Structure 1
């Protein structure tokens, strides 16, 4: 017994792993951990993760997620092949942004940005966007950490429960550290693909900022057979439209992020599947675990609440992207290759662009490009009917923004806007009627004060003081 009491925390945890997985924990190394998780993690970064885990045995604090590790991993990947921004690239993109901004002001009434857009490196994109990625991923990271803790408590024999109580925080740290490393890998690899700040479709860049990644822009243009100056003008117009919208509708940024986190909070790890896999897991044959992670077998079916949150988010992002598509299309009519570039953007989106892959990896979120096409058709109908000014005014307040019903059938929205343009009162709907009844009841309370007798004297306690 005294010998057990003299064990270090590391030895206790290794013994616990032996109990859970049937041995082999003592020889556990970073490369084996990388294989077991199914993540393509750089060995050097895995060594960093293991160092953080060792520190967790003795360090205090309740934060289970090492966001610093995510940042280091993301920058490590982003900076590997980052060629930086040359003076020529910066000049070319500055000119493209200037001209695209003038064209965009002809197609939308939403005002220009206060801060000038600029060319950014891959590492710069990581630095600028990682805070939002952390906010989006935090609910899932917490869910994974909680699932590991529950699995540890449920699988450990009764005589080991004392050790479990001491290792619970450590298991949360393990789950948080592994997820942070995965987040860093996703964001780092994404930095090699995104062409601009708004390319992912969600507001990752700080409000009012816009930028293009020259190195990725060049890769995107390969094979399109489109002149670089035309491609730069098109991408610049899209980026500015996206940034202008979120700067104008300041409420929209929080609205989008809260919709993503609402969905992410519903993500749960299937502990039954995890326990079943652990019971027959062979560390020397990690393929089954790798396959389970890649196929999503450890994630249960979406709940009804998640399905509802997903539908709301799809409609919201489609509404935003549809507006950007229409405004950009109108701004770049002078470009001979505009149609070809737009088709390339649509194809990239249809096969699963950076947004779908990143959100799918982190929160299991899959978006339907079809809704974006339908939303663009809605915005085109509105623009043709009432013009850019009335169209853009729908972003002034949250309750004016078109909803899912408007995407499905734009005719009703167009009719309301046309009636408003003629100065007519919109036709009352069920909600208007219900609100009118509530207001009428509020203005006619049942207790209107003291009543009077037939002789005109008031009821109530009117005794002289």
Structure 2
């Protein structure tokens, strides 16, 4: 395999430049690799998946029946503990355990939606950025170079997603609804590794992870506008990420069409940068505020559900809060790749705001804020949570909003998690 710096490899090895047959074979294999059929969009997602799976193949332990039983039990208990502390009923229809490769398989469709806007600009820019004299020299390789953007981005994304798959604990771990609706996908391998790092009992880490997953699902299942709101916030920010012309020109300037090995010298680091415009700053503010509100609510209700039930609850809560606020190495790598930082920077303030709403309005009044996006606090309200909770009063019935009720048909407060099959 011949390694290419932007995240994937080409079969066939490095050719001898003096051997026309080897060069021809290499170019044929490279062109086939770069034009692997994908989804029809700007990113070669088949290639991204292939890269991710290959990277994970040597470090993705198989899961046993005990893993499944432990996490199914933890999710049932999590739903039971959450019932008294929120009006939103369970949003989990099934609980399943995922390997790291399973996580890639099940979240790839959402990543495609989030990353295609950035990739589209990259691919469309490739042809324009190739110097005129180089285009003439490339000849039949020109089409291959034009497709390089989609393949390069697919390869980078595949490597980044593989790294993320080694860190995430569940499908909603980064605050976005990445997996299928209603399916609580938990990664026991990563949960166990995370618990060992904290030096806390495995069952407590497992239960706390299940509580956070169950809380996320309650929000996304019973706040019908939230999923679209969150994904739109990410897309709006992604629309303001631009291609750095100088970085692409510099990278392509190192390509020698007579030397296939020069393709290995491509380095597209720093190609994607966010625009420093009022619109982009506003989009970033909306994204960070939305993430903070979701994660703050989850942190708040989980704390209320746990109360005095777990002896290490403070350590668990602080570890998870710090983990979400700072992001892990893989998350930082992903942010550097596509310019998307999916971290709630004001998590503590958002949590305090939900706590203030609970104190002033009770559980019903706090959860009523999710009835419509216009009712959500703004970033400015984070600084004055007591003032917002005390003054932002309204009658939702008069405004025509319908709230989910904990005794809604089909939900049982006495038997949480019942009839949720194990995948």
TM-score, normalising length: structure 1: 0.73
Cα distance in 1 for partners of 2:369, 2:12 equals 47
> In 2, Cα distance between the equivalents of 1:178 and 1:159?
19
| Corresponding residue of 2:359 | 384
Aligned to 1:307: 281
Does the 8 Å contact 1:45/1:73 carry over to 2? Answer: no
Compute the displacement of 1:247 (Å).
0.7
In structure 1, the partner of 2:376 is 401
Deviations 1:197-234 (A, max 9, x none): 11111110112221210100110001323211111111
Q: Find the counterpart in structure 2 of residue 91 from structure 1.
A: 69
Q: Give me the whole-angstrom Cα distance separating, in 2, the residues matched to 1:354 and 1:110.
A: 33
- Counterparts in 2 of 1:210 and 1:159: CA distance versus 1, 3 Å: closer
Deviation at 1:281, TM superposition (A): 7.8
Q: In the aligned structure 1, how far is the partner of 2:201 from the partner of 2:135? A: 71
Pairing 1:112–2:95 present: no
**Residues of 1 paired with 2:264 and 2:50: CA distance?**
28
Instruction: Note if contact 2:92-2:214 (Cα within 8 Å) is conserved in structure 1.
Output: no
The CA deviation string for residues 249-305 of structure 1, in whole angstroms up to 9 with x for no partner, is: 121111111111111122222213433565578999999975x71xx3764753332
Task: Select 2:242's aligned residue among 264, 268, 274.
Answer: 268
Quickly say closer, same or farther: Cα 1:167–1:302, change in 2 above 3 A. Answer: farther
Q: Are residues 1:141 and 2:116 paired?
A: no
**Contact 1:53 / 1:170 at 8 angstroms: preserved in 2?**
yes
State how 1:45-444 maps to structure 2 within 5 Å: 51=29, 53-54=31-32, 63-113=41-91, 115-152=93-130, 155-157=131-133, 160=136, 169-276=143-250, 278-279=252-253, 290=267, 293=269, 296=270, 299=273, 302-333=276-307, 334-353=309-328, 356-357=331-332, 359-366=334-341, 369-416=344-391, 420=395
Aligned positions, number:
384
Structure with max Cα Rg: 1
Residues 228 and 114 of structure 1: CA distance in aligned 2, closer, same or farther (over 3 Å): closer
Structure 1 segments unaligned to the other structure (5+ residues): 1-28, 426-465
User: What CA deviation, in whole Å up to 9, does each residue of 1:11-53 have, x standing for no partner?
Assistant: xxxxxxxxxxxxxxxxxx943xx13x4x4x3555999997473
Instruction: Summarize the Cα distance change of 1:400–1:46 in structure 2 as closer, same or farther, 3 Å threshold.
Output: farther
Distance 1:45 1:125, change over 3 A: farther
1:56–1:177 Cα change, 3 Å = closer
- Preserved CA contact (<8 Å) 2:38 2:44: no
CA RMSD of aligned residues (A): 3.6
Structure having greater relative contact order (Cα 8 Å, sep ≥ 6): 2
Q: CA deviation at 1:64?
A: 4.3
Separation in structure 2 between the aligned mates of residue 194 and residue 61 of structure 1, nearest angstrom: 25
Shift of 1:74: 1.8
Per-residue CA distance 1:107-140 (angstroms, 9 max, x = gap): 1110112512222221211111010011111011
Correspondence for 2:415: none
CA contact (8 A) 2:295 2:344 kept: no
Query: How far apart are residue 238 of structure 1 and its match?
Result: 0.4
Going from structure 1 to structure 2, the CA distance change for 1:404 and 1:364 (only over 3 Å counts) comes to same
| Structure 1 outlier segments of 4+, above 6 Å | 45-50, 55-62, 280-289
TM-score of the superposed pair, with normalisation by structure 2: 0.80
Q: Contact 1:53–1:173 at 8 Å: present in 2 too? A: no
Shift of residue 356, structure 1, vs aligned partner: 4.1
Name stretches of at least 5 consecutive residues in structure 2 with no aligned partner: 15-25, 400-423
Alpha-carbon offset, residue 354 of structure 1 = 6.7
Q: Quickly say closer, same or farther: Cα 1:300–1:61, change in 2 above 3 A.
A: closer
Partner secondary structure for residue 210 of structure 1: strand
